[in-house]
Every structure is written in C-alpha cells, then in structure tokens.
Amino acid sequence: MANGGARRAAGTLESKIMAVLHRAGVPLTTSAVQARLGEELAYTTVVTILTRLHAKGLLVRAKEGRAYSYAPISDEPGLAARRMRAVMDGRPDRAAVLARFVDSLTDQDERLLRDLLEGA
C-alpha cells in the first residue's frame, strides 16, 4: 500500500522537477533543483528522480565540479510524444489509460510475428 502511494508521489514529483527545470531555462545542479522545489525533499530523493528522468531520456546532464547539472533535452514539439509517454510511464495506471496501437514484443513474439506475416 505504501508502495503505491510512493510511486504515485514519484510521478507527481517528476512532473514538478521537469517544470522547475523548464522554468529555470539554464542547467541546474541537484541542490539548485532541491532549493527551487520549495518543499521539504531529501537530497537523495531529488537525486533519484533526476537520475530516473535522465534514464528516461528527458534530461541531459553535464559534470559541473563534483556534481551533475541537469537540463531538459529540448522543448521542441518533436519531443512532445516522447515526453508524454515518459510522463504516463511514471503512473502506475499507464496501461489502462493509454490504448496503444502495438504492445512490446518478446524475442519469441517477434519470431512468431515474422512467421505469421510471411504467410500473410
């Protein structure tokens, strides 16, 4: 139960941190993000979320002294879908809400699909 709440909170925090970085317009270090969030969040929590957003391909980071500084990849419309996907990905209910045209494939699925299409 606590887990579900934590995950939901993480999705909200991701959106908040993205908003902070967009507003800033310049790369921010973890502590700068933490300061601008205006809520009591542990440094490690902010690091975790920034790392996750970076892994999702939403942020670029550069070494600045001993810490990383983060910036949104770009705000061009080209990234709208990707960002949306990533934001929905942070929600536990993504699968129910997004009716996607095609789902992911296992290697076995991929072989099976190729066989099916060859016959078609």
Partner 1 sequence: MDLDGCLPLAVPVVVGLAARPLSSLLPPRTATWLLTATGALLALTGTATLALFALAGALRLPLIAALADLSQRVLHRDDPTSPPVAAVAGALTVAALVAATRTAVREVRALRAAARTARDLPGDGLVSVVEDAGVEAFALPGRPGRIVVSTGMLALLTEPERRVLLAHERAHLAGGHHLFRAVVRVASAANPALWPLRAAVTYTTERWADERAAATAGDRRRAARAIGKAALAAARDPGRVVLGIGAPPLCRRSRTRPGPVPRRVAALLAPPPPHRHGLVAAVALLAVLAVTGVQDRASDLHQVIHRARQGTAQSRG
Rg (CA), the chain: 18
Closer by beta carbon to partner 1, 64 or else 109: 109
Tokens of 34: 């933490």
* Residues in 14-53 at the binding interface with partner 1, rule: CB under 8 A: none
Compute the least distance from the CB of residue 103 to partner 1, in Å: 5
* Residues in 55-114 at the binding interface with partner 1, rule: CB under 8 A: 55-57, 76-82, 84-89, 91-106, 108-110, 112-114
Closer by beta carbon to partner 1, 67 or else 112: 112
* Cβ-contact 40, 27 below 8 angstroms: no
Long-range contacts of 59-67 (CB under 8 A, 24+ apart): 59/21, 61/27, 62/27, 64/27, 64/29, 67/29, 67/30, 67/31
| Residue ranges in contact with partner 1 by CB under 8 A | 1, 4, 8, 55-57, 76-82, 84-89, 91-106, 108-110, 112-114, 116-117, 119-120
